Amino acid sequence: MHSSAIVGPDVTFGPGTKVGPFCRFEGRVQVGEDCRFRTGVVVGTAPMDRNYLGEDTGVIIGNGNEFHEYTTIHRSTGKGTNTVIGDNNYIMAYVHIAHNCRIGNSCTVTNGTQLGGYVEVGNGANLGGMVGVHQFCRIGKLAMVGACSYVNKDIPPFLMAQGQPCRVRGINAVGMKRAGFSDVIINTLKQAFGIIYRSGLNLGQALEQIESGFLSTVKSGKSREEVQTLIGFIKSSKRGIELRTGSS
């Protein structure tokens, strides 16, 4: 703990965590093991939300996370709720993680990215520099969003998106391969992507075709599981998924 850090009475740190110069931890904050907070990181301050009335809320951070310079992480709105960050995430400089956000495990969030309130980021997702994500949007598992994009719809798992407005560009094959996905799983997800984005069917028709026909031809149990992850994400979307497409 650097001598210039400011730490409130309701903050706890797990063993191995290191706090750098001029960091501030305020309110009810729980940090796991082996995290690293570099210069000027601010965690747990009041949310920038007109609905926040001073109720008891907090921030929960898992193990093995790294937060670079001047990142800000606000506590949540709504009594008894938390802003939650999982394990082994790499958060670069000047990132803002707003109230009630939920970030999974092994995500990369690049310099200057701004996450609005209630944003959810799935495991292994990668957000490029200067990305802006609208409140309540979700970024799916192993999705990748290119630099300087504006996200105002949900980005489904395993896809790449980029632009202003954001457009889906294709499958994140490189990210999946790095995560240990087999060629069989990647090719199966490519086919599902083609049905949703390249077949000319509307979204309801595409999902019906995948569920009633395509899945019955998939022999790999793991491949079926990941396609069902994709379908489940789409069906649970409240803001709607990003259906605009474009070339790389």
Domains present along the chain, CATH in parentheses: 6-174 (2.160.10.10), 181-235 (1.20.1180)
pLDDT of residue 220: 87
Question: Who's near 63: CB < 8 A, 6+ residues apart?
Answer: 14, 32, 33, 34, 35, 87, 88
pLDDT surpasses 60 at 248: no
Element (H, E) at 173: helix 173-178
pLDDT of residue 127: 98
pLDDT of residue 147: 97
pLDDT surpasses 70 at 236: yes
pLDDT of residue 191: 96
Mean pLDDT of 49-65: 98
Question: Who's near 180: CB < 8 A, 6+ residues apart?
Answer: none
Closest CA to 44 of 26, 24, 32, 70: 26
Q: What is the pTM of this model?
A: 0.96
Q: What are phi and psi of 96, to 5 degrees?
A: -115, 125
Mean pLDDT of 170-196: 97
Mean pLDDT taken over the chain: 97
Share of the chain above pLDDT 90, in %: 98
